[in-house]
Structure 1
Amino acid sequence: MDDGLVQAKFPPDLEKMLGVESQTNTQANAFVQAFLRNSMQSNSRLDLKGILAHKAVILEYARPKKKKEKRNSKKAKGLNARQKRELKVFQIKPEQQRYELFLPLHNLWRQYIIDLCSGLKPSSSPQFVQQKLLKADFHGAIITVVRSRCPSYVGTTGILVQEFKHVFKIITKEDRLKVIPKRNSVFAVEINGFVSHIYGNKFEQRASERSAKKFKVKGTIDL
């Protein structure tokens, strides 16, 4: 280390205010070298003056703080049930209540069920088909009310266009929108010769909830 490295002295007025006395250059250099020897790892081959002459020594290091990025805590929220009712999201306009408009949807549903039931062959087990249908999506299916506590519902047939937790909405061949409660009703669904009966009391769930529920193949209903 150059002996003239430490030469700065306090101004007289600062010495008086702090109550300290500046050291001589020799004393200051001796203090710095003693401090460095104690602070650095001991090594018999360590050339302190050589290191100081060619390398900067960091006496203190503070890791820079990373700036935290502000994340948008507000997630996009969908419409609630009240807003959906106010906007009439699920309303089918009168000019759209036509049976022929939903026939392509029915054809898509038939293909969906055939694929779901591994081809829906005549040799397929009725119990296997029933289990698949219980968890399937019925939008597009042609359903018929075969039993109900309300006699006026019996015989009603149409394409299922909307399924809610407690009701089915169907379009009949007469282009009429019918709302059929699931409770206390039994519905029949036919596809490729397989006829499956849906017991509404056991079916009071949304389609998404029903897909995760376990059903018994043989149902009962009190009518």
Structure 2
Amino acid sequence: MEESLLRSPIPRNLVGVLGVEPQTISQAAAFTEAFLASSVQHPERHDVKNMLTHKAVILSYARPKKEKTKSKKAKGLNARQKRAMKVFQIKPEQQKYELFLPLHQLWRQYIVDLCGGLKPTSNPQILQQKLLKADLHGAIITVVRSRCPSYVGSTGILVQEFKHVFKIITREDKLKVIPKRNSVFSVEINGFVSHVYGNKFEQRASERSAKKFKVKGTIDL
């Protein structure tokens, strides 16, 4: 039935549109063959007469090209530009212990929420693991051991942490830079004391969340 429709004479109303005179079946077949040859991609690679025996014929089709839009990312300052602009420098008039006490109070609440509430029955090892991965900005840290004796006993609010050093503001309103290497620090919160071994802690604050720490550390002093 479908083949008879394909080879049937072209209707009179399409004669002018197609530009052929459909008087015989052979002319209709010739037109179909010519139309198919002009429509398929790479007709020299196909046997057009053989294709007419199939039920379905794939004609040429070109998908519309999508315009590629380049996303513009905001460029931040590099390390050299930050140093030139003194982004990380704390001005002398800002080196006041009292100015950072509100930050310390926020940090205490942050740690309590992180640990699900600090209770006497809490597991100290679990609390220490959470504390070591937490953000320590605002914590009061104390140097309990160090290869350099002058650092021992230094205590203050941690205001800046870098990969190799801590910067703290002491109660005497002094900014001290304490190297992490060869030092042991203590952090106290609601009666719980955790020790941080600097040699195992030489990372940026943003990198500690994915690091696994040992509960017991060692240091060569």
| TM-score bin, normalised by smaller chain | 0.7 to 0.9
Instruction: Tell me if structure 2 keeps the 8 A contact 1:143–1:159.
Output: yes
Matched, 1:190 2:188: yes
Q: Taking structure 1 as reference, are residues 35 and 99 closer, same or farther at Cα in structure 2, changes over 3 Å only?
A: same
- State the shift of 1:80 in Å: 1.9
* Range with bigger deviation, 156-165 or 88-97: 88-97
Residue 2 (structure 1) aligned to one of 7, 12, 16: 12
Say yes or no: does 1:34 pair with 2:29: yes
In structure 1, the partner of 2:174 is: 176
Q: Is the CA contact 1:148–1:154 (under 8 Å) kept in the aligned structure 2?
A: yes
1:99 to 94, 97, 101: 97
What does residue 123 of structure 1 align with?
A: 121
Unpaired segments ≥5 residues, structure 2: 1-10, 37-50
Shift of the 8–35 alpha-carbon distance from structure 1 to 2, 3 Å rule, reads closer
Match of 1:132 among 121, 130, 133: 130
> Offset at 1:171?
0.7
Pairwise CA distance, 1:135: 0.8
Within 5 Å, which residues of 2 pair with 1:1-223?
1-2=11-12, 5=15, 30=24, 32-36=27-31, 63=61, 65-72=63-70, 74-223=72-221
Distance in 2, matches of 1:37 and 1:213, equals: 71
SS at match of 1:130: helix
TM-score where L is the length of structure 1: 0.75
TM-score by length of 2: 0.75
The alpha-carbon distance between structure 1 residues 36 and 177, as it changes in their structure 2 partners (threshold 3 A), is same
The 3-state SS of whatever aligns with 2:104 is helix
Match of 1:211, SS?
helix
Alignment check: 8 A CA contact 1:3 1:29 kept:
no
The CA distance in 2 between the partners of 1:62 and 1:74, in whole Å, is 37
Q: In structure 2, what is the Cα distance between the partners aligned to 1:141 and 1:35? A: 90
Amino acid at match of 2:12: D
What is the CA–CA distance in structure 2 between the aligned matches of 1:168 and 1:7, rounded to whole Å? 85
Once the two structures are TM-superposed, the CA of residue 85 in structure 1 deviates from its matched residue by 1.1
Deviation at 1:3, TM superposition (A): 9.5
The verdict on how the C-alpha distance between 1:7 and 1:155 changes in structure 2, with shifts beyond 3 A counting, is closer
Q: How far did residue 131 of structure 1 move?
A: 1.0
| Cα distance change of structure 1 residues 129 and 29 upon mapping to structure 2, 3 Å threshold | same
- Deviations 1:198-222, CA, capped at 9 Å, x for gaps: 1100100111211111111011111
Q: Higher mean Cα deviation, 28-37 or 93-102?
A: 28-37
Structure 1: gaps of 5 or more residues: 10-24, 43-59
SS at match of 2:178: strand
Mapped to 1, the partners of 2:128 and 2:14 lie a distance apart of 97
